[in-house]
Amino acid sequence: MKFANGSAAEADAIVGCDGIHSRVREIINGFESPSSHPNYTHKYAYRGLIPMDEAVKALGEEKAKTSCNYVRGSVLT
């Protein structure tokens, strides 16, 4: 890594977490990449609570009583 002040460092991994206006995405993907310029999707999600017996009936015992979110998607290895 080279920094604006002229210093440098070496690492096995770098994590860039600077939010929606991420400069890191541009550096990694290139300025021309559409993934470097995210925008609002006009989608949203609501969160609500239902009685546990209804959750078990709809999801099954394991999923209803495990405190994890079940989200479909890619997993990085």
Would you please indicate which residues are annotated as catalytic (active-site) residues? Answer: 47
User: How far from 55 is each of 44, 64, 65, 72, CA to CA, in Å?
Assistant: 22, 6, 8, 19
CB 54 within 8 A of CB 65: no
Encoding tokens for residue 22? 């991420």
